[in-house]
Amino acid sequence: MLNISRVLHGEEADRDGGGCPGNGGDKLNCDSPVTWKVLSVVIAVAIILMGWMLTRSFAVAAEASAVGSAQAPMPQEKLDSLLAPIALYPDQLLTQTLMASTYPLDVVAAARFVKENRGLKGDALDKAVAGKNWDPSVQSLAAFPQVLEMMNDKLEWTQELGDAFLADEKRVMQTVQSLRQKAEAAGNLKGNEQVKVVKEQSTIIIEPARTEVVYVPTYNPTVVYGTWWAPMYPPYYYPPPPYYYPPGSVAAAGLIGFGLGIAIANNNHWGWCNTNWHGGSVNINVNKNNTFINNNAEFKNKVNNGNWQHNPSQRKGVAYSNAGTRAQYSKADPNAVSARRDARGYEPTGARGSAATRDVQRPSGGTSATQSGGISGTRDEQGMGGRDFNRSSDARPSFDAGQSRQQAQSFSNRGATSRASMGGSGGGRRGR
């Protein structure tokens, strides 16, 4: 076998054992076939080694980049602030709100429908809502218009809440329990004529005091849980709408107030979903005689062993803010564009021009949901309270870490002004 080291130093003879005549003993310049063959092998091996080393370097760098760019989990203090306004809802209303928050376009459409059809109640409301292309959780919330109004008025919060729920359902449930424990420790979570508070070891369950009537609570999150522990993430306070919470129905500061009771005589709005506190999930009973679920085969088919499953197509093209959630759910939805157009109230093609053309020539210059990373910003997309679906990328929601308490209150005050103008002189009380 040839000694590669000796060949490189000119010490190896050619196959005949002789040198290279006329070269002064410089073996590297000889024309021996064996020498050039060995050199070729050496060069090839060196190239292979260099290629492997470069490939490995690139792989390590890519891996490090992926780790560095991976979206970090939401800070616990921010998750606290997102859940604080609804953590003290009765369990089933809480689960409906969490599920509905993952479909913000449906929420906006439902809030607008309820606003425009205040006279619909009971079976008439259910029949009208059953014909809408909304998720059953959103259809069910039509019976709780004050919840829909809050979600529509605070749309940035709704989207972040939904994405947090999709990113880590169990963590959301654990945070709700933590908040309830804080409210109890502060002496502000107690049973009364409206709700029943049951404690099973460390789990706090909130249920309607009467099985046929639900009262939606209202409270100031910065007070009801005790001194707020995360000034960087102040939760917003949604002032109670006067047409749902008449004077005298809201308790003193630090306590929980209740407005008009909402009847839940049928299964469309109650009894079909609940919290699995120990499993950290939402349970769905598809066997309930629920009109909304019975009319939505896709919803029923996605329920896995009684556990709720998010339906990406029902999201209708709204982008997911969390990288992991986006990778899990973002798939091409051929109906997304038309669904968004329907939700915004565009007329079908042929009615006073092309709907597609109007979708492009929007007055506010907003971009599509997928382009903006959220819901499109057009005047046609404004819900109750005159809120745009989208803000510019540098606009802050009311719970943003960079805001002061005064700034957060300013956002809430704007909502209060809108609601006052909605109520007007003819704004009567609502209830079911």
Please list the residues that pair with 210 across neighbouring strands. 213
pTM over 0.75: no
pLDDT of residue 122: 86
Q: Is 306 exposed, middle or buried (0-12, 13-18, 19+ CB in 10 A)?
A: middle
pLDDT of residue 55: 66
pLDDT of residue 244: 84
Average confidence (pLDDT) per 10 residues, the chain, 432 residues? 45 46 49 70 78 64 47 91 98 97 97 93 91 96 95 96 96 98 95 94 94 92 94 90 76 74 83 92 90 91 91 93 86 51 45 36 38 41 37 38 42 48 40 39
Domain ranges of the chain: 4-69, 77-423
What is the total residue count of the chain?
A: 432
The CA distance from 396 to 365, in Å, is 20
Return the SS3 of 273: strand
State the sign of the Cα–Cα–Cα–Cα dihedral 290, 295, 296, 297: positive
Among candidate residues 110, 128, 133, 151, the one with its CA nearest the CA of residue 336: 133
Token representation of residue 430: 């609502």
Among candidate residues 254, 234, 249, 269, the one with its CA nearest the CA of residue 398: 234
pLDDT of residue 114: 94
